[in-house]
Amino acid sequence: MYLITGGARSGKSSHAERLVSASERVLYIATSKILDPEMAERIAHHRASRPAHWRTVEQYRGWSSLIGPHNDPQEAVLLECITTLVTNIMYDAAGNTPEEEWDFAIMEHEVNQQIDELIAACAACPAPVFLVTNEVGMGIVPENRLARHFRDIAGRVNQRLAAQAEAVWLVVSGIGVKIK
Protein backbone atom coordinates (compact mmCIF):
# COMPACT_ATOMS: atom_id res chain seq x y z
CA MET A 1 0.00 0.00 0.00
CA TYR A 2 1.26 3.45 -0.95
CA LEU A 3 -0.13 6.73 0.41
CA ILE A 4 -0.05 10.04 -1.45
CA THR A 5 -1.02 13.10 0.57
CA GLY A 6 -1.01 16.85 0.13
CA GLY A 7 -3.18 19.91 0.31
CA ALA A 8 -6.03 20.83 -1.99
CA ARG A 9 -4.84 21.35 -5.57
CA SER A 10 -1.30 20.31 -4.59
CA GLY A 11 -0.93 17.90 -7.50
CA LYS A 12 -1.36 14.73 -5.46
CA SER A 13 -3.77 13.15 -7.96
CA SER A 14 -1.39 13.76 -10.85
CA HIS A 15 1.46 12.36 -8.79
CA ALA A 16 -0.55 9.23 -7.97
CA GLU A 17 -1.47 8.82 -11.64
CA ARG A 18 2.22 9.04 -12.59
CA LEU A 19 3.02 6.35 -10.03
CA VAL A 20 0.37 3.95 -11.39
CA SER A 21 1.29 4.68 -15.01
CA ALA A 22 4.00 2.03 -14.73
CA SER A 23 1.13 -0.50 -14.77
CA GLU A 24 -0.53 -1.32 -18.05
CA ARG A 25 -3.87 -1.75 -16.31
CA VAL A 26 -5.39 0.27 -13.50
CA LEU A 27 -8.46 -0.17 -11.33
CA TYR A 28 -9.53 3.35 -10.36
CA ILE A 29 -11.78 3.53 -7.30
CA ALA A 30 -13.61 6.85 -7.03
CA THR A 31 -15.14 7.62 -3.63
CA SER A 32 -17.11 10.78 -4.50
CA LYS A 33 -20.88 10.98 -4.55
CA ILE A 34 -22.86 13.38 -6.70
CA LEU A 35 -24.53 15.68 -4.20
CA ASP A 36 -25.06 18.83 -6.26
CA PRO A 37 -24.52 20.21 -9.78
CA GLU A 38 -20.99 21.43 -9.00
CA MET A 39 -19.95 17.98 -7.78
CA ALA A 40 -21.55 16.43 -10.86
CA GLU A 41 -19.37 18.70 -13.03
CA ARG A 42 -16.23 17.83 -11.09
CA ILE A 43 -16.92 14.11 -11.34
CA ALA A 44 -17.64 14.38 -15.08
CA HIS A 45 -14.34 16.23 -15.55
CA HIS A 46 -12.43 13.55 -13.60
CA ARG A 47 -14.11 10.75 -15.56
CA ALA A 48 -13.20 12.42 -18.87
CA SER A 49 -9.59 13.03 -17.85
CA ARG A 50 -8.81 9.41 -16.88
CA PRO A 51 -7.33 7.12 -19.52
CA ALA A 52 -10.09 5.20 -21.31
CA HIS A 53 -8.46 1.83 -20.62
CA TRP A 54 -8.61 2.29 -16.85
CA ARG A 55 -11.36 0.32 -15.17
CA THR A 56 -13.40 2.60 -12.88
CA VAL A 57 -15.57 1.68 -9.90
CA GLU A 58 -17.40 4.30 -7.84
CA GLN A 59 -17.60 3.03 -4.28
CA TYR A 60 -16.61 4.17 -0.79
CA ARG A 61 -17.16 1.07 1.35
CA GLY A 62 -17.13 -2.69 1.04
CA TRP A 63 -13.42 -2.98 0.28
CA SER A 64 -13.07 -6.74 0.27
CA SER A 65 -15.23 -6.91 -2.86
CA LEU A 66 -12.76 -4.66 -4.74
CA ILE A 67 -9.37 -5.17 -3.16
CA GLY A 68 -7.94 -8.45 -1.93
CA PRO A 69 -6.26 -11.71 -2.88
CA HIS A 70 -8.52 -11.99 -5.95
CA ASN A 71 -6.96 -8.91 -7.64
CA ASP A 72 -4.75 -9.37 -10.67
CA PRO A 73 -1.18 -8.50 -9.61
CA GLN A 74 -0.71 -6.73 -12.96
CA GLU A 75 -3.59 -4.28 -12.39
CA ALA A 76 -2.61 -1.44 -10.05
CA VAL A 77 -5.30 -0.02 -7.80
CA LEU A 78 -5.73 3.73 -7.34
CA LEU A 79 -8.26 4.84 -4.73
CA GLU A 80 -9.20 8.51 -4.67
CA CYS A 81 -9.81 9.88 -2.17
CA ILE A 82 -9.64 8.87 1.48
CA THR A 83 -10.93 12.18 2.83
CA THR A 84 -13.98 12.00 0.57
CA LEU A 85 -14.53 8.45 1.80
CA VAL A 86 -14.35 9.72 5.40
CA THR A 87 -16.87 12.46 4.62
CA ASN A 88 -19.31 10.02 3.03
CA ILE A 89 -19.12 7.59 5.94
CA MET A 90 -19.56 10.38 8.48
CA TYR A 91 -22.68 11.60 6.68
CA ASP A 92 -23.99 8.03 6.39
CA ALA A 93 -23.52 7.58 10.14
CA ALA A 94 -25.30 10.89 10.83
CA GLY A 95 -28.35 9.84 8.85
CA ASN A 96 -31.19 12.29 9.30
CA THR A 97 -30.05 13.42 12.75
CA PRO A 98 -29.77 17.21 13.06
CA GLU A 99 -26.14 18.35 12.91
CA GLU A 100 -26.14 19.73 16.46
CA GLU A 101 -26.94 16.19 17.72
CA TRP A 102 -24.26 14.33 15.75
CA ASP A 103 -22.24 11.86 17.78
CA PHE A 104 -18.73 12.16 16.41
CA ALA A 105 -17.50 9.15 18.41
CA ILE A 106 -20.01 6.95 16.59
CA MET A 107 -19.04 8.53 13.27
CA GLU A 108 -15.36 7.89 13.91
CA HIS A 109 -16.13 4.30 14.90
CA GLU A 110 -17.92 3.79 11.56
CA VAL A 111 -15.00 5.38 9.69
CA ASN A 112 -12.49 3.20 11.54
CA GLN A 113 -14.41 0.03 10.66
CA GLN A 114 -14.10 0.88 6.97
CA ILE A 115 -10.44 1.86 7.34
CA ASP A 116 -9.73 -1.45 9.14
CA GLU A 117 -11.36 -3.30 6.24
CA LEU A 118 -9.42 -1.21 3.71
CA ILE A 119 -6.07 -1.84 5.43
CA ALA A 120 -6.77 -5.59 5.58
CA ALA A 121 -7.85 -5.63 1.93
CA CYS A 122 -4.70 -3.79 0.85
CA ALA A 123 -2.50 -6.17 2.86
CA ALA A 124 -4.10 -9.16 1.12
CA CYS A 125 -3.91 -7.65 -2.36
CA PRO A 126 -1.13 -8.88 -4.68
CA ALA A 127 -1.37 -5.70 -6.78
CA PRO A 128 0.09 -2.35 -5.78
CA VAL A 129 -2.56 -0.17 -4.11
CA PHE A 130 -2.21 3.63 -4.15
CA LEU A 131 -4.35 5.73 -1.80
CA VAL A 132 -4.79 9.48 -2.29
CA THR A 133 -5.72 11.62 0.70
CA ASN A 134 -5.78 15.25 1.72
CA GLU A 135 -3.47 16.61 4.38
CA VAL A 136 -6.00 18.55 6.43
CA GLY A 137 -3.96 19.43 9.50
CA MET A 138 -1.65 22.14 8.23
CA GLY A 139 -3.99 25.10 8.54
CA ILE A 140 -5.65 26.97 11.36
CA VAL A 141 -8.11 25.26 13.68
CA PRO A 142 -11.51 25.42 11.96
CA GLU A 143 -14.08 27.60 13.66
CA ASN A 144 -17.05 25.23 13.38
CA ARG A 145 -17.64 21.97 15.24
CA LEU A 146 -18.13 19.74 12.18
CA ALA A 147 -14.95 20.96 10.48
CA ARG A 148 -12.90 20.47 13.67
CA HIS A 149 -14.13 16.91 14.12
CA PHE A 150 -13.64 16.12 10.43
CA ARG A 151 -10.06 17.43 10.55
CA ASP A 152 -9.33 15.34 13.64
CA ILE A 153 -10.88 12.14 12.27
CA ALA A 154 -9.26 12.52 8.84
CA GLY A 155 -5.90 13.27 10.47
CA ARG A 156 -6.07 10.13 12.59
CA VAL A 157 -7.09 8.06 9.55
CA ASN A 158 -4.13 9.43 7.58
CA GLN A 159 -1.78 8.55 10.43
CA ARG A 160 -3.08 4.96 10.51
CA LEU A 161 -2.73 4.59 6.76
CA ALA A 162 0.76 6.10 6.73
CA ALA A 163 1.86 3.71 9.48
CA GLN A 164 0.74 0.74 7.37
CA ALA A 165 1.98 2.07 4.03
CA GLU A 166 5.10 0.79 2.36
CA ALA A 167 5.80 4.32 1.12
CA VAL A 168 4.28 7.76 1.64
CA TRP A 169 4.58 10.81 -0.62
CA LEU A 170 3.82 14.39 0.36
CA VAL A 171 2.96 16.51 -2.69
CA VAL A 172 3.47 20.26 -2.58
CA SER A 173 3.12 22.55 -5.61
CA GLY A 174 3.07 19.54 -7.92
CA ILE A 175 6.27 18.06 -6.52
CA GLY A 176 6.11 14.73 -4.73
CA VAL A 177 8.58 14.13 -1.93
CA LYS A 178 8.86 10.61 -0.61
CA ILE A 179 8.68 10.93 3.19
CA LYS A 180 8.57 7.23 4.03
Mean pLDDT of the chain: 93
The pTM assigned to this predicted structure is 0.93
Whole-angstrom distance, CA of residue 77 vs CA of residue 35: 25
Strand, helix or coil for residue 24? coil
Q: How confident is the model at residue 111 (pLDDT cuts 50, 70, 90)?
A: very high
CA neighbor of 59 nearest in space, from 114, 104, 9:
114
Strands (DSSP E) found in 24-92: 25-30, 55-58, 75-80
Mean pLDDT for the stretch of residues 3-15: 93
Q: Is the CATH code 3.40.50.300 the one for domain 2-144?
A: yes
DSSP assignment letter at 64: G
pLDDT(68) > 80: yes
Please count the other Cβ atoms lying within 10 Å of the Cβ belonging to residue 6: 25
* Residue 42 pLDDT: 83
Confidence of residue 141 (pLDDT cuts 50, 70, 90): confident
Taking the domains of the chain in order of start, what are their residue ranges?
2-144
pLDDT of residue 150: 95
Residue 43: predicted pLDDT:
77
The pLDDT confidence band at residue 77, using thresholds 50, 70 and 90, is: very high
pLDDT at residue 92 greater than cutoff 90: yes
Residue 157: which pLDDT band, with cuts at 50, 70 and 90?
A: very high
More confident site: 105 or 36: 105
> Between these two residues, 42 and 174, which has the higher pLDDT value?
174
Task: Please provide the distance, in angstroms rounded to a whole number, between the alpha carbons at the two ends of the chain.
Answer: 12
By annotation, the residues acting in catalysis are 46
Residue 3 has pLDDT above 80, yes or no: yes
